[in-house]
Amino acid sequence: MQDELDGDDDVPIPASDDQPLEVDVRIDDDISSAVLEAFGGDTSHIINRFEIAASAAAQHRGFTSGEIGIFATTDPAIREINRLHLSHDYATDVISFSYQCESPLVQGELTVSLEMALAQSRRIGRPPIDEAILYVIHGVLHVTGMDDHDVDDRRAMRTCEQAVLRQLGLPDAERFDADRFDALDGLDPTDSAPTRST
């Protein structure tokens, strides 16, 4: 689903575990107006929904303090991040960087492609914002220490994703399960599919 990187080479921003969890969302200026229009045209709406989703995912995992940064961007920009940091020369849906992860304190960041979310949402018949929220949840679960490289870990990740989606009141969360669409595409849902979105 996504690519991830442990931020061992990066210095985390100091935080104490008595600070509330802060979520900082930035929207890339290079995102086209057509893509933004598909998401409702209001960047403050995207920012608000991402903040809520990230907080819910972190709290679901027991993380209540620290900082998570989210950068919503384009396919070319996320491809460049993927190439520079992970040596993968392709666009993906979400890339996460975990800097500190000791409950209740978490620090990390993720990059989400709104263009990938829009393309995937059109393919499966889901609202683009709901698809992008799934990427945010998935990325935050990675930042908080979850993995999805083997069958059991992937199952646990999907269970958490579905629980957070239901908590957020997103309709038909189970209907849009990532593994279901991997299977429809002929992909083995137990395999990692880095160029596919969730």
HSE-up of 4 (CA within 13 Å, CB side)?
A: 22
Q: What is the pLDDT of residues 65-106, one digit of tens each?
A: 999 999 999 999 999 999 999 999 999 999 999 999 999 999
Q: Which one has a higher pLDDT value, 175 or 13?
A: 175
At 1, is the pLDDT very low, low, confident or very high (cuts 50, 70, 90)?
A: low
Q: Exposure of 86 by Cβ count < 10 A (0-12 exposed, 13-18 middle, 19+ buried)?
A: middle
Predicted TM-score (pTM) of the model is 0.83
Whole-number Cα distances in Å, 3 to 6, 103, 125, 167: 10, 23, 24, 25
